[in-house]
Structure 1
């Protein structure tokens, strides 16, 4: 079971034109916006990465609008774990369960998940928050992450799993987000 005090959300490279041309772009961007809002309600730390923003552009506005006050971590490596700033910030959270959302599933998401698993983290891939330019590459990335020991979840499943109870202000706020 996902636990609030053990979980961190990691957003990978939801940027520029690439975010607009990936398979099921609008669906995935909407789901990532929802998981970011839910993570804020649940007070989960969020680590936000951008791959070479000077060349690829910045995080799409549909998501960036919910990340006010947060700063993206710039990277040029495919795996976020190869970025020293990311590792430092991840370790500073003290959390060992990583929810992953982003693009592309078979490259940056996969390599980040593989590294995290190697380093002893529990990885929960938000299956409705990852995509690639093609559905086939998305599927290959998901299958490889499963083979390595990652778990799959969805926005609605993980938010209610962390919430655990169907009452209170957080429950009401999450219910509004996912509808």
Structure 2
């Protein structure tokens, strides 16, 4: 197994493609590795970051007529976009998904989904074996237990995949705050989805826009 380092190993928005897998009610009902609210928040934040940076995003569900539609928080980020509904447990065995990813012409494949041990691990391991540069976003995913989530992470690492959190993905896409074209949108994203960091940013803006009281004469 070969591990890559250096600047070229970091994520670039122009080379990235995101696949969000099975963020559906049936899976959320048995999500026990994380607070479900956090996973919904993080997956939504990741989706919004992808849209801000122009990263193609493929949405896929499994048997949606029984498992439920993808969370509206995510689909609302991409209004009108078709969700690829599968019967395969392994997303990477569905040719519609693979063809959609290949059509983007990108090789940095980023995956998040429910559950980590099944719907994330299977495509990550297969795609990594086929030569894709694969990253799993662990906090925009979740498993049936803490153990199953963590064991899946270990298995994916051994298969040569990268593990990241959603905010780290955003940071690598941005890379330099001198790149100001997305700063306004990212500021909004921070306030909506970055918890304490977002609130601190909001507070900073409040303080910067509060006049300093004049000293009494």
Please confirm whether the aligned pair reaches a TM-score higher than 0.5, indicating the same fold: yes
1:16 aligns with 2:25: yes
Structure 1 stretches of 4+ with a deviation exceeding 2 A read: none
What residue is the counterpart of 1:92 in the other structure? 103
Shift of 1:99: 1.1
How many residues of Structure 1 are paired with residues of Structure 2 in the alignment?
A: 179
Q: CA offset at residue 127 of structure 1? A: 1.5
Q: 8 Å contact 1:165–1:171 — kept in the other structure? A: no
Matched, 1:103 2:103: no
- 1:6 maps onto 2:29 in alignment: no
Deviation at 1:2, TM superposition (A): 0.6
Greater RCO structure (CA 8 Å; 6+ sep): 1
- For 1:177, the equivalent position in structure 2 comes to 189
- Aligned-residue offset at 1:135: 1.3
What is the distance in 1 between the residues matched to 2:152 and 2:84? 23
1 or 2, which has the higher strand percentage? Answer: 1
Task: Give ranges in structure 1 of 5+ residues lacking alignment.
Answer: none
Other-structure match for 2:67: 56
Q: CA deviation at 1:56?
A: 0.5
TM superposition score normalised by structure 1: 0.95
Secondary structure of the residue that 2:92 maps to in structure 1?
Answer: helix
- Partners of 1:67 and 1:16 lie apart in 2 by 19
Contact 1:79 1:115 in 2 (8 A): no
The question of 1:33 aligning with 2:44 is answered yes
Q: Deviations over 1:120-143 (max 9, x none)?
A: 101111121110121111111111
Preserved contact between residue 101 and residue 125 of structure 1 (Cα < 8 Å): yes
TM-superposed CA distance for 1:171, in Å, is 2.6
Q: 1: distance between equivalents of 2:73 and 2:29?
A: 11
Does residue 77 (structure 1) correspond to residue 83 (structure 2)? The answer is: no
Aligned equivalent of 1:164, options 163, 175, 178: 175
Instruction: Write the distance in 1 (CA, Å) between the matches of 2:187 and 2:135.
Output: 21
Name the TM-score, length of structure 2 as normaliser.
Answer: 0.79
Q: Deviations over 1:28-83 (max 9, x none)?
A: 11000000001000000001110110111110122222121211111111211100
The 8 Å contact of residues 16 and 56 in structure 1, kept in 2 or not, is answered as yes
